[in-house]
Structure formats: C-alpha cells, structure tokens
Structure 1
Amino acid sequence: MTPKEVVLNAVAAIFTNFDPEAAEQLLAPGYIQHNPAVPTGAAPIVGFIPGLKESGIEVTTHRVLAEGDLVVLHNTYTNAQAFGAEALVGFDVFRVEDRKVVEHWDNLEAVTEPNPSGHTQTDGAVEIVDLNKTEANKELVVDFVNTILRDGKGDQITDFISTETYTQHNSQIADGLDGLGAALTAWAEQGITMKYDETHLVVAEGNFVFTASEGTLAGTPTAFFDLFRVEDGKIVEHWDVISDIPSEMAHENGKF
C-alpha cells in the first residue's frame, strides 16, 4: 500500500467501519500523538473506537495530498461532540513507516458560516495537477510563509499571491488582496496581531502545498495549518485551520 492508502484505510477503520482490529493492524504500537487532548500510543485510539461508533461521528475527506512518508487530509467531522463541537473542520497529518501510521498531527476548529465572499472552509478546487511543478510550488509557498507571515514584509506580497484571482476560505476574509488587506487592517485596529514564528511541516503535491506553523495570534500561542493552491507561479487559493496551543497536553510530545 502507498502511504495514502495506509492512511485512508486507517481513518476508515477508526471513523467509518469502527473496526478496532483493522485499526490495530494499521497503527504502530508506539504511534506518536500530537493532538493535545489524546494520549500517545495506538492503544488509546483503538480504545476510543467503540465510543466513537456510539457517538455517531462521521468524517468527510475533502482533499488528500502526500509527499514522501507524510499524508495530509482536509476533513470535516460531524456529530463530533466527542471532539468538543457539533461540527469541526480540520487538517490531519500522518507519517507512515513500514505500512503503518507512526505519527499524527492535527488542527481543528468549529465549522462556521460562509465567509464574506460566500466560500466555506472546505469548498473549492480539489484536483491535483502540475506534478512536475511540485518543488517549484513548494519553494514559492515556503518563501511566502517566511517572507510575508514570519518576517512581515507585506510590500512583497504580490510576488507570491495572484493579483487577478485569490480565493479565500478563511471564515473572516473576503477574496482577493483587497479582502486580505481589509481583514488585516480590521484586526490591527482591534489590536489583534498575527505572527508566524516557525514552520514545522511542509507537504507538497503538484499544485497543493500544506504548511503547519507555530506562532501567536493576539499574543496567544497558536498553531496555523494552511493549505495553498498554486497556479502559474502564484498562490490563487487558500484554506486554513487555526487553533490555540494549550499549555497542558495529554502527552509530552508537544503540538508539533
């Protein structure tokens, strides 16, 4: 099985088929967990499955991309009270080794109403194309995150984001550079600052590039999971999931 197949089979075993035996075969015993609320190891995940089945939780996977041993899923969870809300959107990142899932990171936030441009947190393009441009697209996005989001060099933003088409899926931001600028101005007027400090994970496949970064939002330690779509050398679409990084976790692995 490819890493994508291993991950999709594991997610199906846990959230669709509710099959502890199948899950146990696909998760390494020493499975490293980074979700702050879930203990590390495979045993806790397998032990949660009967409760998940009883809860009626459902998962819908909108996008899948993979690079090497890392696989990213863009998911929606409904009937997700077990995770703290009726409906959640999230990015799940899995590392696969020897046909088993050995590590997991995620970021979750509540599903919201469409943003000012009418886009939801998960709609938009899904097709992976331009596989021959994977490395160039990855370099562009990493440079964008470092230059704009980390170093704050906003005057260079048109080097990275298309001035003609930029579709935004963040719940509070409208399409286009004007929409992004208006949101950032409104946040600044409210004293809300956003700062990326370090990017821990980058996964690229064709026209999609995913990054998982650590920083602060309004002074609070924050995890920023972003997905970008690139076309003709510019970023043309963006999805994200943002969540606080708690000071206490159910393990010692950290958020990243």
Structure 2
Amino acid sequence: MNETTAAGRNARLVRTIFAEFAAGNLAPLREALHDDFVEHSPGNPSGRDAFLRFIADSEVAKAELDLKRVVADEEHVVVHYRMTPPGQERGLAVVDIWRLADGRIAEHWDVVQPVPQAREVPNGMF
C-alpha cells in the first residue's frame, strides 16, 4: 500500500501498533488513541485510559496474535487476525475496525468468533 496516501499512512500506523501490541508493548497504542476514544464492542469501556486499562488485563494482551490481512481507506483500517490465548489450540478469528481522525485512532469495533474445526470451513478460516 502506498504510504503517501491517507489509506497507506493509516494502514502503516495500525500495522505498527498491532506489531508492538503483539510484542507486549502498549505504549504506541496509548499514543495513537484519541483522548476521547470511542469503543463500540460490548463490555469494553470507552475513553483512552479506561480502554487501555481494560485491554492490558484482557485475554488479547496474553494471546499470540497472527495478522492475516489489513484493508484501509482514508478513514478506516480493518485487520483480520488469529488470536490464540494460552491453552487454546484453535483460538479465535478476529476482525477489528478502527476509525482514524487526524492521524489518531478515534473509534473501534470488533467481531470475534471461535475458529471452528477445519472440516467445518473447507476453504479455510483465514
């Protein structure tokens, strides 16, 4: 993706934050979230500080994250990945949708489902 476009810059920002978070570093996420960050996922709190506290203690912070694809436009970045928490063999399929404004993350939505047995998805989950 061309990093001179808004879509390219957005994709690069989210990829970088994803890689840092997957390595256990929350600092880049803190810097990237708007102060008035809005969370749309059930059970997750809105607001930068509340969201960061929540995510630091959540299952995702302890899981192995395997990024499969990134789709971006001028305002949104969508990431599709496998999240494998400790002790779970198949893990979860996750799609995160991030809305960016002024080069920072303003909103988040996600869709999460258990990865089914391979025979249930003959064309593969990822």
TM-score range, shorter chain: 0.7 to 0.9
Which one-letter code corresponds to 1:167 in the other structure?
V
Counting only pairs closer than 5 Å after superposition, residues 155-166 of structure 1 correspond to structure 2 as 155-162=27-34, 164-166=35-37
Residue in structure 1 matched with residue 92 of structure 2 by the alignment: 222
1:243 matched to 2:110? The reply is no
1:201 matched to 2:72? The reply is no
Which one-letter code corresponds to 2:31 in the other structure?
D
Which one-letter code corresponds to 1:234 in the other structure?
R
Residue in structure 1 matched with residue 20 of structure 2 by the alignment: 147
Q: Which has the higher contact order (CA 8 A, sep 6+)?
A: 2
TM-score (normalised: structure 1): 0.42
CA contact (8 A) 2:38 2:107 kept: yes
SS class of match (2:36): coil
Residue in structure 1 matched with residue 50 of structure 2 by the alignment: 179
SS class of match (2:54): helix
Q: Which runs of 5+ in 1 are unaligned?
A: 1-66, 68-131, 188-192
**Distance across 2 between alignment mates of 1:244 and 1:183:** 21
Shift of 1:151: 1.1
Sequence identity of aligned pairs in percent?
A: 24
SS class of match (2:51): helix
TM-score (normalised: structure 2): 0.81
**Distance across 2 between alignment mates of 1:213 and 1:251:** 16
Shift of 1:185: 5.5
1:136 to 2, 6, 9: 9
SS class of match (2:83): strand
Shift of 1:140: 0.5
How many equivalent pairs are there? Answer: 119
Counting only pairs closer than 5 Å after superposition, residues 3-22 of structure 1 correspond to structure 2 as none
Q: 1:186 to 1:197 in 2, by over 3 A?
A: closer
**Distance across 2 between alignment mates of 1:179 and 1:206:** 27
SS class of match (1:139): helix
CA contact (8 A) 2:7 2:73 kept: yes
**Distance across 2 between alignment mates of 1:244 and 1:142:** 23
Q: Which runs of 5+ in 2 are unaligned?
A: none
**Distance across 1 between alignment mates of 2:105 and 2:87:** 27
